[in-house]
Amino acid sequence: MTLNILDIIRGTTVDGPGFRTSIYMAGCSHRCPGCHNTESHDPQGGVPMTIDEIMRVVEEEDFDVTLTGGDPLMHPEETALLARRIHECGHTVWLYTGYTLEEIMADKRLREALRYVDVIVDGPYVEALRNTDLRFRGSENQRILYLDKASLFPESSGEEQQDSI
Ligand code: SF4
């Protein structure tokens, strides 16, 4: 299983709290007017890397991780596996997406990709709502959402609890 990776930046402080490893995945179809990252839209951009290769970079640091792009939810199965592997190493996961949480909740594949994600920054970039004072976001419609797994995955909340014992 591979992902096309545009960049992996270690020790960044702009994609979530603290020092983080940010993984930039290629591919985004939201086409937000005013997007500052148009070179990330091509899903064939960047360099193909296996999940193992990405994890080797992640494990070189003791940082929590941010998945961004592009939009990681353009590749929900690969993103789900990567987030799981990162969690298994003891790191939390932030994920940036152009989808809103409501859109994600309405799509089983997208929702499943969040099973091992702790926080999402959701929604498209809206040029008219641009605000450079916002932390970790570009426009005021975007939200930083700490995910409540029990409400996101009510069908398996017992299983999640067992995992955490
Ligand atoms: S979701 Fe992000 S990368 Fe995709 S078009 Fe919108 S601003 Fe650009």
Q: What is the pLDDT of residue 123?
A: 98
Q: Which atom of ligand 1 is nearest to the CA of 30?
A: 5
92/70 Cα distance (integer angstroms): 20
Chain center to CA of 165 = 26
Q: Which of 33, 32, 50, 20 has the alpha carbon at shortest distance from 99?
A: 32
16/88 Cα distance (integer angstroms): 20
Say whether pTM exceeds 0.75: yes
Taking only the tens place, the pLDDT of each residue in 130-156 is: 999 999 999 999 999 999 988 888 887
Could you tell me the pLDDT band of residue 159, with boundaries at 50, 70 and 90? low
Ligand 1: residue of 24, 36, 71, 130 to mutate (most ligand atoms within 8 A of CB) is: 71
Q: What is the pLDDT of residue 164?
A: 40
* Strand extents, DSSP E, 84-130: 93-96, 119-122
Higher-scoring residue by pLDDT: 99, 157:
99
Q: What is the pLDDT of residue 147?
A: 96
- Residue where the block lists tokens 């017992």: 158
- The Å distance, Cα 7 to ligand 1 centre, comes to 16
Strand, helix or coil at 165? coil
Strand, helix or coil at 36? coil
Please tell me the total count of domains within the chain: 1
Round the average pLDDT of the chain to a whole number and report it.
Answer: 94
Q: Is 43 in the pocket of ligand 1 (CB under 6 A)?
A: no
Taking only the tens place, the pLDDT of each residue in 19-52 is: 999 999 999 999 999 999 999 999 999 999 999 9
Q: What is the pLDDT of residue 157?
A: 66
* Residues forming beta bridges with residue 39, ordered by sequence position: none
Q: What is the pLDDT of residue 158?
A: 60
The torsion defined by the Cα of 44, 48, 51 and 56, in degrees rounded to 10, comes to -140
- The Å distance, Cα 148 to ligand 1 centre, comes to 25
The answer, yes or no, to whether the previous bond of 70 is cis (omega within 30 of 0) is yes
- The CATH number linked to 122 is 3.20.20.70
CB 11: neighbour CB atoms within 10 A? 11
Average pLDDT over residues 71-96: 97
Domain that holds residue 75: 2-162
Q: What is the pLDDT of residue 151?
A: 85
Q: How far apart are the first and last CA of the chain?
A: 30
| DSSP H/E element including 68 | strand 64-68
